[in-house]
Amino acid sequence: MNSNRAVKRIGLLTSGGDAPGMNAAIRAVVRACMYYKIEAVGIYRGYDGLIANDMKTLDSRSVASIIHRGGTILKSARSMEFKTPEGRIKAAENCRMAGIDALVIIGGDGTFRGGLVFQQEHGIPVVGLPGTIDNDLNGTDFTIGYDTAVNTAAHAIDKIRDTASSHNRLFFIEVMGRDSGQIAMRASIAAGAEATMIPERPMNVDELIHILEKGAGRKKSSSLVVVAEGGKPGHSIDLAKEVTDRFEYYDTKVTILGHLLRGGSPTVSDRVLASRLGVVAVEYLLKGISGGMIGIVNNRINFTPFAEATGNVSNFDDEMLRIASILSV
């Protein structure tokens, strides 16, 4: 959407699942506002805070020393009330009372769906930044938080490899990734796992056992299987049980990394990504462009309307699966 109304006060919030690098994005948005001599208002607890009028003006010093910190200083939330028209009316009234004439929302697909309907209903320009560890949005090569989550997963898997090979064990390591195997796939290649189970390319137990048997035939001292949570946290426990019943070569263990992947200091890649996107988000609003997500594709800034960013996500790269299977022999 293009709008010619001058933007003087930008509200910003983090929403949905938190991701490392959200703080770097907050800092970039606030500092870009200072640079362009407009005001920045931090809204706490995502859309819930917008409805409850929980906000505070931010300046350069409010965001000092946060670029390296995980989590989000603005807190995050999932808001049921914002899904109702009445909740969004309250949110729009609070924006008007606070003089907020545009919003930067940092979150995932749910956050963008909310931003889209809010802009359509109330005419307040909204720009989104991809803040999710899942890397499951169209219109950006990487989302803020993904690189950190993958690094955390790979380092954890390295540690598990040490103990697994000391005991001739088969480990199932479950990583987050709602409907998305991207964290699992990349961490699996980085840590040299034997197999990867992802929702995009389902593998049945027979196929998995076949891979493990081949490894056992080559006298591998351990085997690591990285399993994407895929919307069913804990399902690797059942999977491990099924495999143990049919394949006795290894002693089998399960480690669920869970929320560990959301924490920690963001990597350099995530900090730089968040910094670039935060500045450009403010510049787009000042140019009168809104209604979509700012991402980076092939190292270039890319604007994607919200409906497209959250639509059928088709960014799974089969090349990764091919590389993983060649290297796991």
Residues that bind ligand ADP (CB under 6 A): 15-17, 47, 78-79, 82-83, 107-111, 113-114, 117, 132
Minimum Å distance from CB 116 to ligand ADP?
A: 8
Residue number, 63 or 91, with CB nearest to ligand ADP? 91
| 181 touches 136 (CB < 8 A) | no
Among candidate residues 275, 238, 269, the one with its CA nearest the CA of residue 254: 238
Residues in the chain, overall count: 329
Q: What is the amino acid identity at position 135? A: N
Instruction: Please calculate the CA angle 8-83-199 and round it to the nearest 5 degrees.
Output: 105
Question: What is the residue-wise DSSP string for 183-198?
Answer: HHHHHHHHHT-SEEEB
Residue number, 99 or 258, with CB nearest to ligand ADP? 258
- Hey, is 264 helix, strand or coil? coil
Q: What is the amino acid identity at position 47? A: Y
Kindly report the backbone phi and psi dihedral angles of residue 288, in degrees, each rounded to the nearest multiple of 5, phi listed first: 85, 20
Distance CA 295, CA 304 (A): 8
Among candidate residues 250, 231, 270, the one with its CA nearest the CA of residue 106: 270
Minimum Å distance from CB 50 to ligand ADP?
A: 10
Among candidate residues 286, 318, 287, 284, the one with its CA nearest the CA of residue 304: 284
Minimum Å distance from CB 92 to ligand ADP?
A: 13
Residue number, 7 or 293, with CB nearest to ligand ADP? 293
Which residue in the list 134, 136, 147, 270 is annotated as catalytic? 134
Residue number, 82 or 250, with CB nearest to ligand ADP? 82
Minimum Å distance from CB 17 to ligand ADP?
A: 4
Minimum Å distance from CB 100 to ligand ADP?
A: 18
Consecutive H or E run containing 173: strand 169-175
Residue number, 108 or 215, with CB nearest to ligand ADP? 108
For residue 51, the Cα-to-chain-centroid distance in whole angstroms is 24
**134 included as an active-site residue:** yes
Residues tagged active-site: 134
